[in-house]
A and B are shown apart, each in its own frame.
Chain A
């Protein structure tokens, strides 16, 4: 059903009323070669395809059918929604619809995306309520009080109750009723404050603002990290075994592993938790090395440097307890990252590996998210890495949202992606950055879930590209391409050779020739590459 690329080229060329010979001349190939391409007798790709697309003034994705592919994938995902399962859409519906009713197909895909977004917001609000410790504590108190009152009242209704019991349960009802009144008052007060102007800012937003204000870099934590790292390395070379020794030696903490799932700190089944009473850190055996190393580091910094984290939180003058708690958690993670991935070394490795996250993961026994998170914090004044923005994608749905948001068509929904990871809507969404301002372009690449149905596009991976210079806008609108990963630039003695794995790199960024688009160019600007690909997955660890 999908027109082969040659036919698309020839049809587009004829629409523009350009002769085959003329197009061949403009793109620098012979007319006979173009003829072969248009008849699908020759493959076309790479820079030649870019040139053809440029001459035909058409998006390369349209030419290759990639956008159509994605639309089909979007529709298949929409049809796979549990909501539509009773309709049992026949196989091939998506493909047929895209071919025959492209407008309807696009409309369905957009509506489904909007629906997914709305669902995500609902989940978000529900989670926020559940996650609010004060709120859930008050609810628990009210529920306990009502349970006691109801049960006691039923006892009082029993016919042959002796006087002592009657008096006892009467007193219970009175006591619990007074307790309920107090709790309810506190709850109402809580909501009153929530509604007040001082509480207009959500804790998450407040944390975001703090991170933005500090440009993702916390000098105090970085300094503490150096000391903590040295402390840990007193027990041996940095790693899981040494962390275990340091935790045992300094904090009398033991480590336990078991196959079954246990509950984490929030009471949900998880992969790890620390029990302060028994001073035991538990890991599920399936927890990966990166998770274990990072969580042990995190525990070490929370036990050994809580005061440092507290001081940063206090200095931030956050307005609510919830924001302070959030900030404490985020900054504890920051500090753990700074200890596990020391600034200078990590930056040098990142530069050498051209910010290849896979390589950095291997060098530092880190998960994708840990590496990505550390990359965004490389903002030491005078010694910065490439600027990144990192959205934290916690679920397939969020991932899908970022994926959708990557396309200009979905510019209305394009989230603002802040450093420690909260999806936020842009107040004035633009497909590209404001003139002269920083430019973000989000693109996405669908990937197949390993072992899954190859025809079904699972969670797409998105690539975020931050471009500090508005002059690069045109370059950013070029498609990404799959490249061979090269070895790290410097001699990576002992480091894994990884030339055999495919990697994705952004297109080579060229400044546009002359023209107003170069307005953002500054004299003497940094010759280093100004963009890098950042893979965003839905992994959670």
Chain B
């Protein structure tokens, strides 16, 4: 399924604010929309393997990471990001499912920066991204 946000930015000249890793097209579409609308530059990937490559190439300021990704789970991705000195400090916002305490515990152990629980309110996501990017409410 083609999706405009999935197009990588050329040459990495513009610093990327947020990389979204989410495989559900409708969720990705709305995430892309609300985060762009809040003023950030966005890029997206839809499977676990692509995340690591995109993080290294695009150097985003923040990663929004769904736990249930195809090919390589969000946990696995998070672990590898934390293991790589280039990306170890990248803030990672985990999208987890309501009621999955075990997921949340695992993600915490693996070094997640923050969580948003599905089904979320858009304002929750925007607020969490804003906090992790160190921008004030006005930002």
Contacts and interface: CB of A to CB of B under 8 A. Distances in A.
A169 interface: yes
A168 B106 contact: no
Given A148-B24, A152-B30, A269 B106 contact: yes
A143 B97 contact: yes
Contacts of B75: 263, 267
A135 B114 CA distance: 28
Contact of A151 (B34, B49, B72, B76): B34
Nearest to A137: B68
B118 interface: yes
Interface string B95-111: 00110001000100100
Contacts of B68: 140
Interface in A96-152: 139-140, 143-148, 150-152
Interface in A214-267: 260-263, 267
B109 A144 contact: no
A151, A172, A261, A268 interface centre (most CB from chain B within 10 Å): A151
A464 to B, nearest CB: 32
Nearest to B27: A148
Nearest to B123: A154
B26 A152 contact: yes
A143 B26 contact: no
B138 interface: no
A269 B123 CA distance: 32
B118 A172 contact: no
A91 interface: no
Contacts of B27: 144, 147-148, 151
Interface centre among A140, A143, A172, A261 (most CB of B within 10 A): A143
B71 interface: yes
A158 B75 CA distance: 34
A216 B128 CA distance: 55
- Chain A: number of interface residues, binned into ranges: 20 to 34
A134 to B, nearest CB: 15
A277 interface: yes
Contacts of B121: 150, 154
A540 interface: no
A267 to B, nearest CB: 6
Contacts of A151: 27, 30-31, 34, 119-120, 122
Given A152-B26, A263-B73, A144 B118 contact: yes
The interface size bin for chain B is: 20 to 34
Interface in B19-42: 24, 26-27, 29-31, 33-34, 37
A146 B119 contact: yes
B130 interface: no
B29 A168 contact: yes
A107 to B, nearest CB: 35
Interface in A330-359: none
Task: Name the residue among B26, B29, B122 with the largest chain A CB count within 10 angstroms.
Answer: B26
Nearest to B98: A143
A266 to B, nearest CB: 10
Given A146-B119, A263-B106, A155 B30 contact: yes
B26 A155 contact: no
Contacts of A175: 26
A147 B119 contact: yes
A426 interface: no
A262 B83 CA distance: 12
Contact of A169 (B30, B79, B83, B120): B30
B118 A143 contact: yes
A172 B97 contact: no
A22 to B, nearest CB: 66
Contacts of B49: 277
Nearest to B118: A147
Interface in A137-183: 139-140, 143-148, 150-152, 154-155, 158, 165, 168-169, 172, 175-176
Interface in A35-54: none
A140 B97 contact: yes
Contacts of B73: 263, 267
A139 to B, nearest CB: 8
A136 to B, nearest CB: 10
A175 B98 CA distance: 23
B33 A269 contact: no
A175 B29 CA distance: 13
Nearest to A169: B30
Given A155-B122, A260-B79, A176 B33 contact: no
B39 to A, nearest CB: 14
A277 B49 CA distance: 10
A269 B119 CA distance: 25
Interface in A274-321: 277
Contacts of B71: 277
Contacts of B118: 143-144, 146-147
Interface in B24-82: 24, 26-27, 29-31, 33-34, 37, 49, 68, 71-73, 75-76, 79
Nearest to B102: A268
A140 B97 CA distance: 8
A486 to B, nearest CB: 47
Contacts of B98: 143
A145 B118 CA distance: 10
B26 A150 contact: no
Interface of B: 24, 26-27, 29-31, 33-34, 37, 49, 68, 71-73, 75-76, 79, 83, 97-98, 102, 106, 109, 118-123
10 contacts: A143-B98, A143-B119, A144-B27, A148-B29, A158-B37, A165-B33, A176-B26, A262-B76, A263-B73, A267-B75
Given A148-B27, A148-B29, 18 more contacts: A139-B97, A140-B68, A144-B24, A144-B26, A147-B119, A148-B26, A150-B119, A151-B27, A151-B30, A151-B122, A155-B122, A168-B29, A169-B33, A172-B26, A172-B30, A176-B26, A261-B109, A267-B106
Rank and list the top 7 A-B pairs by shortest CB-CB distance, nearest first: A148-B26, A151-B30, A147-B119, A147-B118, A146-B119, A154-B122, A144-B24
Interface of A: 139-140, 143-148, 150-152, 154-155, 158, 165, 168-169, 172, 175-176, 260-263, 267-269, 277
